[in-house]
């Protein structure tokens, strides 16, 4: 006699609402714990790339010095108005706005770009100029080459404003539309106005040699001039690309005409006017937490704290003031 056995399957209950909410809560907590770690890892990678950029620039500067026996000038004939430039150049001398960044191009594997530029003509418009200005006509070819040209080695990957300038005014602002800034600029310890700053920028007639930085207007140092020691002197420093200034707008300058930073209001990351979080146009800083990178004359890169003593920072920027820091 055959017997048939029937096995009844017991229905499995699904998740209750409470269990589902608990699972979602656990997942949310895990994500909250995981995302900061990912972000920190990404920022660590960006900081490492930023540091490497400065190391490559430092190597380029050493190769430039080895070739020319002098560092490149911070700028050639920078000017605010055509026909109204300050000493040390004569009245009506053509504004050039050629920067040391451009002189370094052949030593940064950018020889093709370098050869497209005409260094006998300006690299950018003067401030407060208009498109009929003679300097604008002379600069047109160079500006066409540099327009929308981005070089990653001149940009900190942590800076969210690494994009072309948006300020198109030709009467109140520098002409910056479609041109990129650099994150790494030459630095000077003192600044008052154009004429007085020239004395700190390698004017042969000055008597302020002890205040000099390595790079100046129409001139620069040789390594032998850095009597405080290459390892004790800051050559370049980071600065955020977005600026805060009632005079120059949020995208002041490009790597073709912004060439020097200064310890104008204080040290690193000094805001223009609290609660405005952006720094002034000429102040060192970065989007890294707590400070910024700086390139020293020996080619090393140091991270300088934004709490660094103001006088110590000035001593690091000056090449021959005799105030050598034991540690910083």
- Per-residue model confidence as pLDDT tens digits over 176-193: 567 788 899 888 876 544
Strand partners, 262: 188
Question: In whole angstroms, how far apart are CA 62 and each of 30, 50, 70, 223, 297?
Answer: 48, 19, 9, 9, 9
29 found inside a domain: no
290 found inside a domain: yes
Question: In whole angstroms, how far apart are CA 261 and each of 74, 106, 281, 286?
Answer: 10, 24, 8, 13
204 found inside a domain: yes
Residues 111-136: what's their mean pLDDT? 74
Q: What is the pLDDT of residues 203-255, one digit of tens each?
A: 545 566 777 889 887 888 999 999 999 999 999 999 888 766 544 333 333 44
Q: What is the pLDDT of residues 307-324, one digit of tens each?
A: 888 888 888 988 988 888
Residues 262-271: what's their mean pLDDT? 70
Is 210 or 92 the better-scoring residue by pLDDT? Answer: 210
Residues 27-50: what's their mean pLDDT? 81
- Please give the structure tokens belonging to residue 58: 């430092």
Is 257 or 114 the better-scoring residue by pLDDT? Answer: 114
25 found inside a domain: no
Lowest mean pLDDT among 46-60, 90-104, 164-178: 164-178
pLDDT at 136: 67
140 found inside a domain: yes
* Residue 47 pLDDT greater than 90, yes or no: yes
Residues 260-287: what's their mean pLDDT? 70
Percentage with pLDDT > 90 across the chain: 27
- CA dihedral over 182, 235, 212, 64, signed as positive or negative: negative
- CA nearest neighbour of 186 among 78, 292, 104, 295: 295
Which of the 8 DSSP states describes residue 86?
A: P
- CA nearest neighbour of 185 among 54, 318, 46: 54
pLDDT at 234: 93
pLDDT at 3: 58
30 found inside a domain: no
26 found inside a domain: no
State if pTM tops 0.85: no
pLDDT at 206: 55
> What are the φ/ψ torsions at residue 108 (nearest 5 degrees)?
-120, 25
- Identify the three-state secondary structure at position 62: helix
Q: Mind giving me the DSSP string for 242-307?
A: S---TTT-TT---TTT--EEE-SSSSTT-BSSTT--SBPTT----SSTTEEEEEETTS-EEEEETT
* Residue 157 pLDDT greater than 70, yes or no: yes
pLDDT at 9: 58
CA–CA dist 230, 244 (Å, integer): 32
Is 32 or 62 the better-scoring residue by pLDDT? Answer: 62
pLDDT at 55: 97
Question: In whole angstroms, how far apart are CA 190 and each of 69, 124, 160, 172, 270?
Answer: 26, 25, 29, 25, 15
Average pLDDT, the chain: 76
59 found inside a domain: yes
Residues in the chain: 328
Tokens 């890892």, residue located? 41
* Residue 256 pLDDT greater than 60, yes or no: no
Question: What are the respective helix, strand and coil percentages of the chain, to the nearest 5?
Answer: 30, 10, 55
Residues 61-71: what's their mean pLDDT? 96
Write out the residue range of the structural domain in which residue 307 sits. 40-317
Looking at the structure of the chain, the number of domains it has is 1
* Residue 25 pLDDT greater than 50, yes or no: yes
CA–CA dist 262, 115 (Å, integer): 31
pLDDT at 13: 62
Which of the 8 DSSP states describes residue 90?
A: P
- CA nearest neighbour of 175 among 281, 73, 282, 80: 80
Residue 76's H or E segment, with its range, is: strand 75-76
Lowest mean pLDDT among 82-86, 142-146, 216-220: 82-86
Is 296 or 26 the better-scoring residue by pLDDT? Answer: 296
- Identify the three-state secondary structure at position 183: coil
* Residue 174 pLDDT greater than 70, yes or no: no
* Residue 297 pLDDT greater than 90, yes or no: yes
- CA dihedral over 40, 41, 47, 51, signed as positive or negative: positive
pLDDT at 285: 87
């Amino acid at each position: 006699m055959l017997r048939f056995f029937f096995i009844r399957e017991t229905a499995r209950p699904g998740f209750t609402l409470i269990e589902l909410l608990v699972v979602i809560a656990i997942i949310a907590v895990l994500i909250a714990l995981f995302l900061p770690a990912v972000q920190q890892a990404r920022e660590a990678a960006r900081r490492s790339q930023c540091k490497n950029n400065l190391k490559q620039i430092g190597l380029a500067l050493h190769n430039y010095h080895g070739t020319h026996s002098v560092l490149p000038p911070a700028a050639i004939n920078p000017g605010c108005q055509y026909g109204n430039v300050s000493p040390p150049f004569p009245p009506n001398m053509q504004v050039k706005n050629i920067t040391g960044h451009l002189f370094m191009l052949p030593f940064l594997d950018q020889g093709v770009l370098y050869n497209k530029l005409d260094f006998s003509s300006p690299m950018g418009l003067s401030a407060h100029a208009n498109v009929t200005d003679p300097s604008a006509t002379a600069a047109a070819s160079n500006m066409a080459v540099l327009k929308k040209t981005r070089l990653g080695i001149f940009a900190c990957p942590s800076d969210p404003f690494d994009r072309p300038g948006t300020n198109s005014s030709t009467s109140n602002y520098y002409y910056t539309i479609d041109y990129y800034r650099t994150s790494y600029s030459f630095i000077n310890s003192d600044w008052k106005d154009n004429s007085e700053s020239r004395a700190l920028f390698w004017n042969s007639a000055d008597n302020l040699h002890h205040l000099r930085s390595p790079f100046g207007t129409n001139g620069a140092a040789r390594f032998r001039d850095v009597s405080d020691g290459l390892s004790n002197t800051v050559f370049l420093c980071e600065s955020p690309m977005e600026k805060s200034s009632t005079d120059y707008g949020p995208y002041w300058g490009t790597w073709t005409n912004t060439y020097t930073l200064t310890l104008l209001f204080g040290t690193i990351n000094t805001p223009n006017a609290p609660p405005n979080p952006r720094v002034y146009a000429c102040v060192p800083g970065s989007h890294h937490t707590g400070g910024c990178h700086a390139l020293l004359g020996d080619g090393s890169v140091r991270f300088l704290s934004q709490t660094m003593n103001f006088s110590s920072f000035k001593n690091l920027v000056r090449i021959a003031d005799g105030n050598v820091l034991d540690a910083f």
